[in-house]
Structure 1
């Protein structure tokens, strides 16, 4: 959802506990009431006042169902002047009086925007093409994070990268110690290359060489494999990894989980080492922050193209 529309909806949310009307809501965003009504009605199918009234009733329904408020308390919190007026409005919306309510909180809405307990909103995303599922999110975030860490590592000298700043540290139980940023970078890249080769049935990769071009090749192949596995629903399908000695059987879902789990451990350890060595690491590595930044980038790109 575009930032401006989200801002307007946030104004409605922020007004739930205040005595406001359509005119005062519009004044908060420096619009006339008619202009705000037109904007939100076009985008959400509801006027600000209608949306606010519905969200207040949904919040009241949640309070009644959970015992967080009595009918009188819910009526006051929803801004009704009397319990009788609240009961009439509630019964019209839910088909039952507040004292007997035990049903679903969400009322029919043209936009999918609903009260989200205890004090927020559920706002559906506006999607372009297929929605990104958990596989997309985890894989894309991991690859983006490793990409920025390798770029940060490239700003350091070979001497700094080889310095053993974490003596004795073991990040993956069967791969031994990783005391330096150089070894962490190499294993981040090489293990991805190895698992891509295993899943794709390709020859054993050769370790060594520049990290960034090797990573980009492996990342592209890994992303394609993950999407193919997801699209086929093949997470539980097994394959024999001939690269192991002796050969072993793995499920595709197990391998993807392994790569992302231990990749996260290794990459964040690398991030802390790079910062200690004086490199600038541009983000915190949090998928929530990454997703918000990615959304802002898409909006800016779309605005430039339009």
Structure 2
């Protein structure tokens, strides 16, 4: 959404507690009323006054659900009487304020809604990738960052047992050093790729971490996309690499890799920082902002 439109939406939001009309909103935006109406209507399908009125009703619905009396909600929404508020609310929600306990959001094609306690919910750009794609991409980028940081350190430092007794994955034993954490981050990804694709498992500790990881990461991203596109999360396969062979769902495996991978990678991040490496905070929110 364009920055200017966001400014105009923020203007509407900031006016919710003020006694203003369309002309006053236009004056605050330094536009004529007709120009402001055209801009906002073209982008949202609603005039500034209609958008503001709907957001006030949505906020009132949230307040009513939180126990605010109808008379107070009516005053906060800018209605001169409880009766007028009750009529407007009942038309919008199909129930009177005194009996309402439903959804806060009213139907709106633009997807712009009041977000408690005092904000806006604004839809993102379409086709930006679903949650599976986002989580897989973030995990792989984060591991890649940490392996690069580890490759700049001395082997003796990576082998130091800074976390004696630490168990990160319940069936894999202790991981006291950065070196072992790096190896297991890479090797477990290689193992699961091999299990799903029906390949032989490579021997552990063969080759540098980064090249091995890049190969496994490419395959894992491909596998995750295939599962996502087919909606195959509940499909099962037999992992012949287990002893004895076991059956797993694809969704369970993806969740396992991402969940325990996150535990291990962030433990590794802490050890690398202790060893003097410079790594980012690893927050998916910060990562997402950098990749827009």
Question: What is aligned with 1:235?
Answer: 233
TM-aligned CA distance change 1:165 to 1:246, over 3 Å: same
What SS does structure 2 have at the residue aligned with 1:249?
strand
What SS does structure 1 have at the residue aligned with 2:242?
coil
Aligned residue among 259, 277, 282 for 2:257: 259
CA distance in 1, matches of 2:12, 2:173: 55
TM-aligned CA distance change 1:94 to 1:233, over 3 Å: closer
Question: What is aligned with 2:163?
Answer: 166
Alignment of 1:68-147 (within 5 A): 68-94=67-93, 97-99=96-98, 101=100, 104-128=103-127, 132-147=129-144
Instruction: Output one character per residue of 1:113-146: Cα deviation in whole Å (capped at 9) or x when no partner.
Output: 1223443333222213xx5333222212211211
CA distance in 1, matches of 2:264, 2:223: 22
TM-aligned CA distance change 1:26 to 1:279, over 3 Å: farther
TM-aligned CA distance change 1:107 to 1:239, over 3 Å: closer
Instruction: Output one character per residue of 1:33-70: Cα deviation in whole Å (capped at 9) or x when no partner.
Output: 55443332222112222211111012223333x26222
Does residue 281 in structure 1 map to residue 246 in structure 2?
no
CA distance in 2, matches of 1:31, 1:210: 61
Instruction: Output one character per residue of 1:64-101: Cα deviation in whole Å (capped at 9) or x when no partner.
Output: 3x262222211111122333443443344445554455
Question: What is aligned with 1:304?
Answer: none
Higher mean C-alpha deviation, range 237-246 or range 217-226: 237-246
Higher mean C-alpha deviation, range 35-44 or range 183-192: 35-44
Per the TM alignment, residue 271 of structure 1 is displaced from its structure 2 partner at its CA by 0.7
CA distance in 1, matches of 2:186, 2:159: 16
Per the TM alignment, residue 171 of structure 1 is displaced from its structure 2 partner at its CA by 1.2
TM-aligned CA distance change 1:152 to 1:42, over 3 Å: farther
CA distance in 2, matches of 1:188, 1:230: 23
CA distance in 2, matches of 1:280, 1:186: 20
CA distance in 2, matches of 1:136, 1:231: 10
Q: What TM-score do the two structures reach when normalised by structure 2?
A: 0.87
CA distance in 1, matches of 2:31, 2:146: 44
CA distance in 2, matches of 1:254, 1:94: 40
What SS does structure 2 have at the residue aligned with 1:174?
coil
Question: What is aligned with 1:59?
Answer: 59
TM-aligned CA distance change 1:263 to 1:100, over 3 Å: closer
Structure 1: any 5+ residue segments left out of the alignment?
298-306
Question: What is aligned with 2:219?
Answer: 221
TM-aligned CA distance change 1:60 to 1:181, over 3 Å: same
What SS does structure 1 have at the residue aligned with 2:156?
helix
Instruction: Output one character per residue of 1:130-168: Cα deviation in whole Å (capped at 9) or x when no partner.
Output: x53332222122112111212222332223222222122
TM-aligned CA distance change 1:235 to 1:18, over 3 Å: same
TM-aligned CA distance change 1:167 to 1:103, over 3 Å: closer
Alignment check: 8 A CA contact 1:197 1:204 kept? yes
Per the TM alignment, residue 108 of structure 1 is displaced from its structure 2 partner at its CA by 3.1
TM-aligned CA distance change 1:99 to 1:211, over 3 Å: same
CA distance in 1, matches of 2:156, 2:211: 21
Higher mean C-alpha deviation, range 207-216 or range 184-193: 207-216
Alignment check: 8 A CA contact 1:113 1:123 kept? yes
